[in-house]
Amino acid sequence: MSVKIGDFVDIAADGSNYKGRIMPNSSKDVIFLKLESGYNVGINRNSIKSIKLAKEVKKNNIKTKKTAVEQKKGLPKIAILHTGGTLASKVDYETGGVISRFKPEELLDLFPEIREIANIKSVFISNMFSEEMRFENYAKIAKAVLKEINSGVKGIIIGHGTDTMHYTAAALSFMFEHLNVPILIVGAQRSSDRGSSDAAMNLVGAIEFINKTEFHQVAICMHESESDDNCIILPAVKTRKMHTSRRDAFKPINDNAIARVNYKTRTVEILKKIEKEKPKKNVLKIKFEEKVGILKTYPNINANIIKCYKGYKGLIIEGTGMGHMPISQGENKKIFNELKKLVKSGCIVVMTSQCIFGSVNMNVYSPGRNLLDIGIISGEDMLTETAYIKLAWLLGNYKKDIVKELIKKDIRGEIKERILPDEYLSKYDFNKGTD
């Protein structure tokens, strides 16, 4: 039978049955199906026994009428700022892919339980995939946050794509030099119209945390594990997306989680001391220097790559191990010369590590000391992502001498003097036995 793109079909092939929507696909030999689970599968046409049109997946029929937001007495007021991402997206049944196209009100209609625990003000900022975020977007978000804070909310939730959520979390941490309300960044790894979506639970976790604590910093709220039991509240400047697709993709690095929120009991378990002292005034500095970059090093790197950063004001080098890169032997000497030129030109160069966990320590080996000697600064135990955002922010707001001081100093919890043993993958084990 003849089927076309967009048809919902049932295919028998290779002894299996696949039910899903036919997606656009450049190959003539393969049919690409978006399965009901949200995953894609390619099926070789030669292996197909039968294709039949199947029953349509019922499209989500969300009411888009603008409901006047009902204010319930006694409930805290929380603003949800929508920037886009999977939290605010649904499956596009034309192409089978996921697109960003929820309206904020639709999200509240999807999760009515949220209205039971807070008076929500829903604010639309943008509808973008988080990988598209630029510094100008950070500034826009920060200004919108300040506006809501000034209107007297108990806390702010930012719906955000997960790809660069940790970069934005760090940006907000630095932009608000003083902050007297909590800002929780929330995302989802499965779109909100899917049964397996983590969106509702992550939103509820953030709201309960705001309601039940006196936290006034920036944090991330996501699933702690693959199960729908706990949300975990993570430090904005010490967290990283560590998995492409799992709901528990976000993990603290060289640090511990701040709190755990149980979805059933709604209890908030504090895992890390929460600062009680609350600044009186929110101070916002939104400038970022554009000429800042990240360079991950690798064996056999060509010295010309360093030249690309000519004219840059700041550069994070994600080196190897305790903060090294090729500089001493043969061709690598050219790299050292280019680095010297770059630092001499006024660029602030900071070393972090591609190991992710642990701290840079450039004093242990002589090549590290050679890098320090030419003026490269140790990024200590800062994440590359945090160091990048911090350096661009410092250069946007302070003079060079101050930047050089502050980049090495802990100003938002991004540098820790001592990493504890359980702040690593120490629980990772291999007790699986033979296949």
Q: Does 93 bind its own copies (CB under 8 A)?
A: no
Shortest Å, Cβ 30 to its own copies: 12
Q: Which two tokens stand for residue 261?
A: 């929120």
Q: Does 29 bind its own copies (CB under 8 A)?
A: no
3-state secondary structure of 205: helix
Q: Which two tokens stand for residue 92?
A: 């596009």
Shortest Å, Cβ 192 to its own copies: 15
**Candidate list 72, 178, 267, 298; residue touching its own copies; CB under 8 A:** 298
Q: In sequence order, what are the residues at sequence separation of 6 or more whose Cβ sits closer than 8 angstroms to the Cβ of residue 98?
A: 38, 86, 89, 90, 91, 92, 191
Cβ-based nearer residue to its own copies, 78 or 85:
85
Q: In sequence order, what are the residues at sequence separation of 6 or more whose Cβ sits closer than 8 angstroms to the Cβ of residue 114?
A: 108, 120, 200, 203, 204, 207
Cβ-based nearer residue to its own copies, 325 or 339:
325
Alpha-carbon span 132 to 143, nearest angstrom: 19
Phi and psi, residue 367, nearest 5°: -65, -35
Shortest Å, Cβ 270 to its own copies: 5
If you write DSSP's letter for every residue of 47-110 in order, what string do you get?
Answer: GEEEEEE-PPPPPP----S-PPPPPPTTPPEEEEEE--SGGGEEE-TTTSSEEE---HHHHHHH
Residues 32-51 that bind its own copies (CB under 8 A): 32, 38-40
Measured CA distances, 99 to 102, 161, 197, 343, 398 (Å) = 9, 12, 15, 43, 39
Stretch that binds its own copies, among 69-77, 115-123, 198-206, 253-261 (CB under 8 A): 253-261
Q: Does 418 bind its own copies (CB under 8 A)?
A: no
Q: Does 375 bind its own copies (CB under 8 A)?
A: no
Q: Which of 34, 90, 238, 241 is catalytic?
A: 241
Concerning whether 162 is annotated as a catalytic residue, the answer is yes
Residues 321-340 that bind its own copies (CB under 8 A): 321-332
Q: Which two tokens stand for residue 139?
A: 């500034």
Tell me, residue by residue from 186 to 225, as one string, x for binding to its own copies by CB under 8 A and - for no binding: --------------------------------------xx
Concerning whether 296 is annotated as a catalytic residue, the answer is no
Concerning whether 83 is annotated as a catalytic residue, the answer is no
Q: Does 275 bind its own copies (CB under 8 A)?
A: no
3-state secondary structure of 372: helix
Concerning whether 241 is annotated as a catalytic residue, the answer is yes
Phi and psi, residue 427, nearest 5°: -85, -10
Cβ-based nearer residue to its own copies, 119 or 137:
137
Q: Which of 34, 83, 86, 255 is catalytic?
A: 86
Cβ-based nearer residue to its own copies, 9 or 257:
257
